[in-house]
């Protein structure tokens, strides 16, 4: 029952975070619209209301008019990173809880966010359950903090309500006399420590203190007599009473604030101590959890990148003092993406936990196994005597994964690729050793996986060359280093050019010509192939338009597209738009694809090819016969021509010596497809192809790939292309 006096001095009920008590407003700040739409669904709870925006500026504008219980903040945003909003909240003394959601791997980003007041830091990719727990925890923590804040305000509201507030305080409040004995203690002591208030009267406060903390509190309790008026704050463990069973493990951690009680006389003597002890057991446990999370992987509970680096640096320092050696292993799970894509991320997580368990079982006491993220693990092997010691552990790692791992979807045989770097041979710092072990692991991946390899300086050189090539390729377009060469496709019977194939060339300013087989693969891996393909299409269309303006009618032009190009939804539209912009007829162009494209997402690829054919653009299968040739694909995909791979043409000696070419020519006739033979280098090959029914040929016998100027000469005087062919035919005639 609340008395009228108490009601008069009770603070007004606060509005919490912009809505009535019991509800929460949550602001989502993320530049990804799909995530902004997803969060309210996965985080929905009764009483939660969501607002969203995509930039820091929009967020500040909302915060100037609204209060929120929680802000879900992306780390990287178009106009600034999330730290800017954290600084704004501090400057404006705001109390919104903030959870940073980031794809940053570096621990520095997390540390910076937490130092600026972020309540939690969730790394991408994350589990929905992880995000839900973080949000629930932040809201719960915020609610508790606001409840405590309200209680603190009540303590200050009025001296007339002092006893009411003290008696109902969630904190342990007490007074001591000058000898350190209890003169008052509030009822909280019963719930917190299990003691009756009356049992503590006139007993020394130190009887509640655990033995390990006695020295500290004794010194502080004696302080008021010499330093009157100065308060102190200390963390202590107090005994919990359990029917007479006091033990070290049965204690409560409190934050104790002691304030000397001073007389009002002129001498201002210290007559006792006013103390407030707040139970911080939950906070201490939360701090331990946060500390653990900062240094351990959430999925496997293994040390993370930060803790691994700390231990590695310590091991290096110890090895330097003892002139010892150590090894670092970089372990990557083979085909892990296959599990995620096939069975889902839950199964992928189960696989990672199982692999972590097996890897841990192979290591010695004192070794450190860490998970860097994704499917990457590292191992620190201190105190090794020779490289063979690390080799023994590497074999154990491979053997440990020999037995299949049982998942809910079935059994999976996991393998790993292991790279090993040795100290001091392969590096003197933690960063060098980890990087070199990673380079060695990458070489295992390229060599077939499921093996181990020691770092070799030559590997690092090749790795650096690859990175340099990637960087140079990114600027090749801007520097006009790419060019198109053209190779004619000729009809031997009609003695005319029936087509040109556009071939991409890269003239590196330092390395010279770089083969397409080298840099195209790099472009695909680093995501540049779409930009390069768009340049090829634009350059080819521009060249045909220039020839036409000069009065030269070009035959059909073939352009090669990568399998990655067909992953783009707008690939057909981009081709037709380019042709339309240059006022070119679609039947002047042919798109060449490989057989492997037809194996990748068959339905989607077939639909795009049908769109190309409907637009009037021809489609050719390049290198036919070397990949996944099947009549079913020819029935399903609307192709217009086949190109016989040069590997079949190279070994031709007579019309019946290559049954594959015979089969391909039969397939072309059966499906009414045009047929082109690539790599024709001599007249004997040409005669054999003619005998097998192939008339259109392409190769060095007629012309090597050349720049646009030379291609223009061919178009003006196509008879020049048959001079070598005619000469070899005449020689063969006279020889017979």
Total structural domains in the chain? 4
CA distance 593 to 463: 30
Residues 361 and 395 in one domain: yes
DSSP state, residue 185 = E
In this prediction, residue 157 has a pLDDT band, given cuts at 50, 70 and 90, of: low
Q: Are residues 212 and 176 in the same domain?
A: yes
Question: In terms of domains, do 363 and 381 share one?
Answer: yes
Give the domain-ending residue among 157, 182, 216: 157
Per-residue pLDDT at 653: 63
Instruction: Examine the domain organization and report whether 721 and 587 are in the same domain.
Output: yes
- Whether 115 and 192 share a structural domain: no
Residue 555 lies in a domain: yes
Which is it for strands 618-624 and 641-644: parallel, antiparallel or unpaired? parallel
Amino acid 111: pLDDT: 86
Which single residue is written with the structure tokens 């190009």? Answer: 565
Tell me how far apart the alpha carbons of residues 181 and 421 are, in angstroms, rounded to a whole number: 64
User: Is the domain of 200 the same as that of 131?
Assistant: no
Q: Determine contact, residues 268/228, Cβ cutoff 8 Å.
A: yes
Q: What is the dihedral of CA 395, 400, 403, 406, to 10 degrees?
A: -150
Same domain, 347 and 246: no
256 with 364, same domain: the answer is: no
Residue 448 pLDDT: 83
Q: What is the mean pLDDT of residues 383-402?
A: 91
- 426 and 473 housed in the same domain: no
Q: What is the pLDDT of residue 344?
A: 86
199 within a domain of the structure (yes/no)? yes
Name the pTM for this structure. Answer: 0.47
pLDDT band at 658 (very low <50, low <70, confident <90, very high): confident
- Specify if 3 maps to a domain: no
444-493 pLDDT tens trace = 988 888 999 999 877 666 667 777 788 888 888 888 889 999 999 999 99
Side-chain-facing half-sphere of 718: CA atoms under 13 Å:
18
Q: Is residue 460 part of a domain?
A: no
CA 102 to chain centroid, in Å, comes to: 10
Of 223, 251, 286, the last residue of a domain is 286
Whether the CB-CB separation of 462 and 440 falls below 8 Å is answered with no
Cβ–Cβ < 8 Å for 205, 214 = no
Mean per-residue pLDDT for 378-402? Answer: 91
Residue 146 neighbours by CB under 8 Å, 6+ apart: 14, 16, 95
Same domain membership, residue 418 and residue 354: yes
For 220-265, write each residue's pLDDT tens digit.
777 544 445 578 888 888 988 876 544 445 888 888 888 888 877 6
Whether 163 is covered by a domain: the verdict is: no
Cα dist from 81 to 56, 204, 573, 723, whole Å: 8, 54, 36, 67
**Average pLDDT, integer, range 44-58:** 92
Q: What is the largest CA-CA distance in the chain?
A: 136
pLDDT single digits (tens) 482-491: 999 999 999 9
Q: Verify that 305 and 404 share a domain, yes or no.
A: yes
Tell me, what CATH number does 404's domain have? 3.30.70.270
Q: What is the pLDDT of residue 14?
A: 43
> 48: cis peptide before it, omega within 30°?
no
608 within some domain: yes
What's the pLDDT tens digit per position in 627-646? Answer: 555 566 677 778 888 988 88
Band of the pLDDT at 84, cuts 50, 70, 90?
very high
pLDDT, greater one: 302 or 518? 302
Domain containing residue 76: CATH number: 3.40.50.2300
**Could you say which of 286, 316, 342 is where a domain stops?**
286
3-state SS track over 488-517: EEEECCCCEEEEEEEEEEEEECCCEEECHH
CATH number assigned to the domain comprising residue 665 = 3.20.20.450
Same domain, 273 and 311: no
551-599 pLDDT per residue, tens:
998 899 999 988 888 888 888 999 999 999 999 999 989 999 887 776 6
Contact (CB, 8 A) for 49 and 67? no
528 domain residue, yes or no: yes
Q: Above 60 in pLDDT, residue 712?
A: yes
- The pLDDT of residue 634 is 73
- Residues 135-145 have a mean pLDDT of 88
- Residues near 196 by beta carbon (within 8 Å), at least 6 away in sequence: 190
Residue 213's domain is classified under what CATH number?
3.30.450.20
Give tens-digit pLDDT for 489-543. Answer: 999 999 999 999 999 999 888 888 888 888 888 888 778 888 889 999 999 999 9
Domain that holds residue 689: 469-730
Neighbours of 86 (CB within 10 A): 22
Q: What integer pLDDT is reported at residue 13 of this predicted model?
A: 45
On whether residue 463 sits in a domain, the answer given is no
Residue with tokens 């790419």: 482
323 or 50: which carries more pLDDT confidence? Answer: 50
């Amino acid at each position: 029952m609340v008395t009228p006096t108490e009601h008069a001095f009770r603070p007004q009920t606060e509005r919490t975070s912009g809505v009535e008590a019991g509800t929460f407003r949550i602001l989502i700040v993320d530049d990804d619209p799909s995530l902004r739409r997803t969060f309210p669904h996965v985080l929905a709870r009764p009483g939660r209301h969501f607002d969203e925006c995509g930039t820091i500026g929009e967020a500040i504008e909302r915060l100037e008019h609204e209060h929120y219980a929680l802000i879900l903040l992306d780390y990287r945003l178009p106009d600034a990173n999330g730290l800017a909003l954290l600084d704004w909240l501090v400057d404006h003394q705001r109390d919104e809880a903030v959870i940073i959601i980031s794809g940053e791997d570096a621990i520095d980003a997390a540390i910076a966010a937490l130092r600026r007041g972020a309540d939690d830091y969730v790394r991408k990719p994350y589990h929905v359950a992880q995000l839900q727990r973080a949000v629930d925890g932040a809201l719960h923590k915020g609610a508790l903090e606001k409840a405590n804040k309200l209680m603190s305000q009540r303590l200050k509201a009025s001296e007339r309500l002092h006893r009411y507030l003290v008696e109902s305080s969630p904190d342990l409040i007490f007074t001591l006399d000058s000898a350190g004995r209890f003169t008052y203690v509030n009822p909280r002591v019963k719930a917190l420590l299990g003691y009756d208030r009356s049992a503590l009267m006139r007993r020394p406060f130190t009887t509640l203190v655990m033995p390990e903390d006695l020295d500290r509190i004794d010194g502080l309790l004696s302080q008021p007599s010499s330093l009157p008026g100065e308060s102190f704050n200390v963390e202590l463990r107090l005994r919990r009473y359990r029917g007479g069973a006091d033990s070290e493990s049965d204690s409560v951690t409190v934050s104790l604030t002691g304030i000397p009680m001073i007389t009002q006389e002129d001498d201002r003597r210290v007559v006792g101590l006013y103390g407030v002890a707040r139970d911080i057991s939950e906070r201490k446990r939360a701090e331990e959890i946060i500390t653990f999370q900062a240094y351990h992987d959430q999925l496997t509970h293994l040390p993370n990148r930060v803790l691994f680096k700390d231990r590695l640096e310590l091991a290096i320092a110890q090895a330097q003092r003892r002139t010892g050696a150590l090894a670092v292993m970089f372990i990557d799970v083979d085909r892990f993406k296959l599990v995620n894509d096939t069975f889902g991320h839950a199964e992928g997580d189960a696989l990672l936990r199982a692999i972590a368990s097996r890897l841990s079982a192979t290591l010695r006491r004192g070794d450190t196994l860490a998970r860097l993220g994704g499917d990457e693990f590292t191992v620190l092997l201190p105190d090794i005597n020779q490289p063979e010691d690390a080799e023994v552990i590497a074999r154990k790692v491979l053997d440990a994964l020999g037995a299949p791992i049982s998942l809910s979807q079935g059994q999976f045989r996991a393998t790993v690729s292991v790279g090993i770097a040795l100290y001091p041979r392969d590096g003197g710092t933690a960063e060098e050793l980890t990087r070199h072990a990673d380079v060695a692991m990458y070489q295992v991946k390229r060599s077939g996986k499921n093996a181990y390899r020691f770092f070799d300086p030559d590997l690092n050189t090749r790795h650096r060359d690859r990175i340099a090539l990637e960087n140079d390729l990114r600027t090749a377009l801007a520097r006009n280093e790419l060019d198109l060469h053209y190779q004619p496709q000729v009809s031997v019977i009609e003695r005319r050019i029936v087509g040109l194939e556009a071939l991409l060339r890269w003239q590196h300013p330092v390395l010279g010509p770089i083969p397409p087989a080298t840099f195209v693969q790099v472009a695909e891996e680093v995501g540049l192939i779409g930009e390069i393909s768009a340049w090829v299409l634009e350059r080819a269309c521009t060249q045909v338009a220039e020839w036409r303006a000069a009065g030269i009618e070009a035959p059909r032009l073939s352009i090669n597209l990568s399998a990655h190009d067909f992953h783009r939804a707008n690939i057909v539209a981009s081709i037709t738009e380019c042709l339309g912009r240059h006022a070119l007829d679609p039947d002047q162009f042919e798109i060449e694809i490989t057989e492997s494209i037809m194996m990748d997402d068959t339905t989607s690829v077939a639909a795009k090819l049908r769109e190309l054919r409907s637009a009037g653009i021809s489609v050719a299968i390049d290198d036919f016969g070397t990949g996944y040739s099947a009549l079913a694909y020819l029935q399903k995909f609307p192709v217009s021509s086949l190109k016989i791979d040069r590997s079949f043409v190279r070994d031709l000696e007579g019309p019946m010596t290559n049954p594959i070419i015979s089969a391909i020519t039969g397939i072309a006739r059966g499906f009414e497809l045009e047929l082109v033979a690539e790599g024709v280098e001599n007249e004997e090959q040409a005669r054999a192809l003619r005998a097998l029914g192939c008339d259109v040929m392409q190769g060095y016998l007629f012309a090597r790939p050349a720049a646009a100027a030379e291609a223009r000469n061919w178009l003006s005087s196509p008879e020049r292309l048959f001079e070598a062919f005619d000469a070899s035919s005449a020689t063969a005639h006279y020889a017979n």
